[in-house]
Structure 1
Amino acid sequence: MEETKKKKKGKAVIVGGSIAGVSCAHSLLLAGWDVVLLEKSSGPPTGNPTGAGLGLDPLAQRIIHSWLPHNPHLLHNSTVPLTIDQNQATDSEKVRWTLARDENYNFRAAHWADLHGLLYNALPPNIFLWGHLYLSLAISEYKTVIVKAKVLQSNKIIDIESDLLVAADGCLSSIRQNFLPGLKLRYSGYCAWRGVLDFSENKNSEIIQGMRSSYPDLGKCLYFDLASGTHSVFYELLNNRLNWIWYVNQAEPELKGNSVTLKVRDDIIKNMHQEAKKVWSPELVEVMKQTKEPFINAIYDCDPLKQIFWGNVVLIGDAAHPTTPHGLRSTNMSILDAAVLGKCLEKWGAENLFSALEEYQSIRLPVTSKQVLHARQLGRIKQGLALPDHEPFNPKTASPEECHELQQKTMPFFADIPTILVDSAQCFTCIIRT
């Protein structure tokens, strides 16, 4: 009986059904917790949802493998290797040269929707409450969290009580605003045009042949191309798709709703194509022109928070550390947040929730704080923006040391594995050591 008391089973409500939320659901279920996930969308993504490519680092890959013990090949079969990290420059005459190249990169590239579907389909379907909009939270007299949500189909308001509330509701987190009402995101000074070209029906088109000729490592390389005051990123995804991003310095756009993604009119897209011709190779411009429904992300981050939990409410993913994308950290940080949170809850149990969340914060906050600031620095370097400690980066005059700083492996804690994942996992240790 005493043992039963010690092992009280916790219940968690997760708000947000994106990759951070579904990752957290996996980790908490493995820790022995009951989980309910609230998501305002009416159902899982179908068709061709707005989304783009992402890169998974080796640790994130291994964590996902540990969540899919009965299907170890699923992740490998839905991603492609990124074994090279190449930074190059393009001048006004469209002449290119290599600035830095790392041939031991060992990431894998995925489309957002593919990764989300992989993680979602491996979860019990009954834990999701689709079409539920988070409204507010309150702490009960018993120190539990009561979440108020609206069922969008019926407009009914419901209350859900739990031991823990996990905010996985993104960089514009409503839950975070309860505790940090004055916090504002920092606009980076630039936006990103993004798109994914599906060339599955025309694999040998002139455009694709031209891209493969101009960028011979396409299919295994993460390409960063730096031009004057701008840069682009592109890499191949599974099933004959090409992910591309083009960062453009501009005034902060006016955001509508709770999103940093903007859909754009046809005339604005045409203007983007005209501007791209002035900067990029004809092959890359054609990729942009052939992409259906490119969209714009306004790029924000946030100065590191001083804490990421309050009582029995905890932040993970972009809610905890909004970041610019230049270090490919957003998804990887979300997955690692989820894994560490789960292990802390498993170690301490629901009856010692404060200790679990305190350890989670002590492990993750120092790491994510440095990574956010490093990604910010990388973005400013690659966009040719002012830097606090030296002149703006100039690809034509950059020293080897300055070029080395462009590489992904200079990210703080780049290959770090938190001790709690090595020491406390039952089968995870063998996975991460293979």
Structure 2
Amino acid sequence: MKPKAIIVGGSIAGLSCAHTLILAGWEVAVIEKSSSPPSGSPTGAGLALDPQSQLFISSWLHHPHLLHQATSPLSFDQNQATHPQNKATRTLARDEDFNFRAAYWPHLHSLLHNPLPPHIFFWGHLFLSFTLSPDKLSVKVNLRVCKTQEIIQMEANLLVAADGCLSSIRLAFLPHLKLRYSGYCAWRGVFYYSGNEDSETIQDIRRRYPDLGKCLYFDMGFKTHSVLYEIPNKKLNWIWYINQPEPQLKGTSVTMKVSNDMINKMHQEADKIWAPEFSKLIKETRDPFINVIYDCDPLQRIFWDNVVLVGDAAHPTTPHGVRSTNMSILDAAVLGKCLHKWGPQNLALALEEYQSIRLPVTSKQVLHSRHLGRIKQGLSLPDQEPFDLQTADLDYCQQLLQRNMPFFSNATLSIH
């Protein structure tokens, strides 16, 4: 009989693991509390895929060209500064060989979800708890069926925790682990302009950002920065990071609900800090939302017996290195390769090798992303002066580029 894995979490990390474990000869069940696959959500917003992730996703699809069709190019990475008074822009650092691609989260989710067998998904099932068998050869998972409130149990050889940065499975092994608040939150929004391609707002923003559609723009202000790039189907994705005390979150999401008063105050601040074209784009975006930005000091281990962490459950990270989704995809790729190499009879060896390959990479990337965020937000740094737009020299500005990320162009994936 095929070995069986239960994957908790039906987001990008969970779907990627489903692909690689099936390819490795495993039977899988994906547990997700949402009642159905997402059809479109502004809180998904945009993301950027690095070349390695693009190759893996293409290899999992029946029609690899669909990934190219569903994404748009990010050929350049540009960091620029906006003058606080006259709002003039000057380029700080630019990479013209970036080669990422921009995706809309719900579209990437559908692309990964659609080729998978429908019967492996358990939508509307809430993970409650798990227990390991005395011989550590199997794991039983308790679930609640959201529609009926019925409690059911499933059993498998492997439990894969793809349940995000607030992972309840990780909590079972590391009950005292706390996420680290970064010191800032992110306003986010997706501006839809289909049918309004010639509007004044779009014409103005394209004049202000002439490479929009092929460039990942980082705009630096005083102790703040923003991100702007285009995603497919006439959408502009923007993010604005604001230093503030840690908000009080409710529930298990890092996304905050916002009031009209909060949005109005944000609009007023945008007028003060950003160029009129970008401020206008922000103000015309419907349903902006706030992500509270956390990360975590790198873990010492990411598996225990036959339970393994992947994605944000294994390495919560700030978003400045454009790593979260890419790390999840590479986690899944390496995990699948290790399981295929060692076979189900050597599960411990497979998970040990997965950990030995991924931890050195993700640990450095998490810490670099943290450092990059503090530079761009003008926060204190342990080994250098806070970033100052007026005095930063060329060498300092080069630190802003994404390609300084450890393992930027080729994260090690070698299976010994």
Q: What does the per-residue CA deviation read over 1:248-273, in whole Å, with 9 as the maximum and x for residues that have no partner?
A: 00000000100000120111101100
1:297 aligns with 2:291: yes
Secondary structure in 1 matching 2:273:
coil
Kindly indicate whether the alpha-carbon contact (under 8 Å) linking 2:104 and 2:231 is maintained by their aligned counterparts in 1: yes
- Provide the C-alpha distance between the structure 2 equivalents of 1:180 and 1:417, rounded to a whole number of angstroms: 27
- Provide the C-alpha distance between the structure 2 equivalents of 1:347 and 1:149, rounded to a whole number of angstroms: 31
Q: Which of 192, 208, 226 is the aligned partner of 1:198?
A: 192
Worse overlay, 299-308 or 396-405: 396-405
Q: Which of 60, 73, 82 is the aligned partner of 1:90?
A: 82
Report what 1:387 is aligned to: 381
Kindly indicate whether the alpha-carbon contact (under 8 Å) linking 2:361 and 2:411 is maintained by their aligned counterparts in 1: no
Give the deviation of 1:50 after TM superposition. 2.4
- Provide the C-alpha distance between the structure 2 equivalents of 1:220 and 1:419, rounded to a whole number of angstroms: 28
Q: Which of 113, 126, 132 is the aligned partner of 2:125?
A: 132
Structure 1 gap ranges (5+)? 1-7, 424-434
CA RMSD of aligned residues (A): 1.0
Structure 2 length-normalised TM: 0.98
Give the deviation of 1:112 after TM superposition. 0.6
Q: What does the per-residue CA deviation read over 1:220-245, in whole Å, with 9 as the maximum and x for residues that have no partner?
A: 00000001010000000111100000
Whichever residue aligns with residue 53 of structure 2, its letter is A
Whichever residue aligns with residue 150 of structure 1, its letter is R
1:81 aligns with 2:59: no
- Matches of residues 239-318 of structure 1 in structure 2 within 5 Å? 239-318=233-312
Report what 2:158 is aligned to: 164
Report what 2:10 is aligned to: 17
Q: 1:280 to 1:164 in 2, by over 3 A?
A: same
Report what 1:429 is aligned to: none
Q: 1:43 to 1:87 in 2, by over 3 A?
A: same
Report what 1:412 is aligned to: 406
- Provide the C-alpha distance between the structure 2 equivalents of 1:414 and 1:390, rounded to a whole number of angstroms: 23
Q: What does the per-residue CA deviation read over 1:112-167, in whole Å, with 9 as the maximum and x for residues that have no partner?
A: 11101110111111100001000001012342000111011111111111000000
Report what 2:143 is aligned to: 149
Give the deviation of 1:201 after TM superposition. 2.1
- Provide the C-alpha distance between the structure 1 equivalents of 2:284 and 2:117, rounded to a whole number of angstroms: 39
- Provide the C-alpha distance between the structure 2 equivalents of 1:326 and 1:298, rounded to a whole number of angstroms: 13
Give the deviation of 1:420 after TM superposition. 3.1
Kindly indicate whether the alpha-carbon contact (under 8 Å) linking 2:376 and 2:387 is maintained by their aligned counterparts in 1: yes
- Provide the C-alpha distance between the structure 2 equivalents of 1:320 and 1:44, rounded to a whole number of angstroms: 23
Q: What does the per-residue CA deviation read over 1:254-313, in whole Å, with 9 as the maximum and x for residues that have no partner?
A: 001000001201111011000100000111111111111000000000000000000000
Give the deviation of 1:96 after TM superposition. 1.0
Q: 1:379 to 1:417 in 2, by over 3 A?
A: closer
- Stretches (4+) displaced over 3 A: none
Kindly indicate whether the alpha-carbon contact (under 8 Å) linking 1:86 and 1:101 is maintained by their aligned counterparts in 2: yes
Whichever residue aligns with residue 405 of structure 1, its letter is Q
Q: Which of 177, 181, 189 is the aligned partner of 2:171?
A: 177
Q: What does the per-residue CA deviation read over 1:308-355, in whole Å, with 9 as the maximum and x for residues that have no partner?
A: 000000000000000000000000000000000000000000100000
Count of matched residue positions in the alignment of Structure 1 and Structure 2: 414
Report what 2:116 is aligned to: 123
Report what 1:223 is aligned to: 217
Kindly indicate whether the alpha-carbon contact (under 8 Å) linking 1:194 and 1:246 is maintained by their aligned counterparts in 2: yes
Report what 2:365 is aligned to: 371
1:57 aligns with 2:53: no
Report what 1:432 is aligned to: none
Give the deviation of 1:49 after TM superposition. 4.8
Q: What does the per-residue CA deviation read over 1:65-106, in whole Å, with 9 as the maximum and x for residues that have no partner?
A: 1101x3011100000000000000112121210000000000
Kindly indicate whether the alpha-carbon contact (under 8 Å) linking 1:80 and 1:109 is maintained by their aligned counterparts in 2: yes
Q: Which of 186, 201, 216 is the aligned partner of 1:207?
A: 201
Kindly indicate whether the alpha-carbon contact (under 8 Å) linking 1:163 and 1:312 is maintained by their aligned counterparts in 2: yes
Amino-acid identity (%): 66
- Provide the C-alpha distance between the structure 2 equivalents of 1:238 and 1:376, rounded to a whole number of angstroms: 29
Kindly indicate whether the alpha-carbon contact (under 8 Å) linking 1:343 and 1:420 is maintained by their aligned counterparts in 2: no
Report what 2:99 is aligned to: 106
Kindly indicate whether the alpha-carbon contact (under 8 Å) linking 1:31 and 1:346 is maintained by their aligned counterparts in 2: yes
Give the deviation of 1:383 after TM superposition. 0.3
- Provide the C-alpha distance between the structure 1 equivalents of 2:2 and 2:414, rounded to a whole number of angstroms: 21
- Provide the C-alpha distance between the structure 2 equivalents of 1:162 and 1:133, rounded to a whole number of angstroms: 17
Report what 2:355 is aligned to: 361
- Provide the C-alpha distance between the structure 2 equivalents of 1:263 and 1:76, rounded to a whole number of angstroms: 33
Report what 2:37 is aligned to: 44
Q: What does the per-residue CA deviation read over 1:366-394, in whole Å, with 9 as the maximum and x for residues that have no partner?
A: 10000000000000000000000011011
Give the deviation of 1:48 after TM superposition. 3.6
Give the deviation of 1:417 after TM superposition. 4.2
Secondary structure in 1 matching 2:359:
helix
Whichever residue aligns with residue 250 of structure 1, its letter is Q
Secondary structure in 1 matching 2:159:
strand
Q: What does the per-residue CA deviation read over 1:14-69, in whole Å, with 9 as the maximum and x for residues that have no partner?
A: 0000100001101101111000010000000124452111000000000001101x
Whichever residue aligns with residue 65 of structure 1, its letter is S
